[in-house]
Amino acid sequence: MAKKVEEVAVTRHEDSGEASRPLRVPAVDIEEQTDEYVLTAEMPGVARDGAEVTVEEGVLLLRGRTRQDVDPEPEHVEFHAGDFERRFRILPDIDPGRIAASMKDGVLTVRLAKQEKAKVKKITVESSE
């Protein structure tokens, strides 16, 4: 089965002026259902107003901003409270006008509805007699 949502190279935003904050790549699950794709991305520490989802020229951009006020500086560090970013290319069977996103417990859920034509249509074969 061909992948309908594929990843585009993840790039750092050097021009954002925040080069000191590490950029993290969120772990992502993508599942396909009959009429939509559901993408979930793990972004711990990102609140609802810190999440950003945009579609531009067929590229879905997921961004999550963590709170800046990380205090105090940890002495034992296993994770860095940086921002999250990841891009995916979306193929034509996704309707860019029907993408919905929600944030809960540090997980961003994006629902991408399929174009009407991408759904399998059942055509009744009528008898000619």
Partner 1 sequence: MALLPKRRTSDEERGWLFPELWSSPFGDFWRALDLSGWREGQLTPTINVAETDDAVTVTAELPGVTPAEIEVTVEGDVLTIHGEKNEEKEEKGKSYHRIERRYGSFSRSIHLPSSVQSDKVKASSKDGVLTVEIPKREDAKPKKIKIDVK
**Where along the sequence are the contacts to partner 1 (CB under 8 A)?**
1, 3-5, 27-34, 37-38, 40, 42-47, 71-79, 81, 103, 105-107
Say how many CA atoms lie within 13 Å of 80 toward its Cβ.
9
Q: Is 101 helix (H, G, I), strand (E, B) or coil?
A: strand
Smallest separation, CB 60 to partner 1 (Å): 13
CB of 48 to partner 1, least distance (A): 8
Burial of 108 (0-12, 13-18, 19+ CB in 10 A): buried
Tell me whether residue 46 or residue 99 sits nearer to partner 1 (CB atom): 46
Nearer to partner 1, 102 or 125 (CB): 102
Min dist CB 39 to partner 1, Å, is 8
Helix (H, G, I), strand (E, B) or coil at 11: coil
CA neighbor of 68 nearest in space, from 47, 85, 94, 89: 47
Q: 15 vs 32, which CB is nearer to partner 1?
A: 32
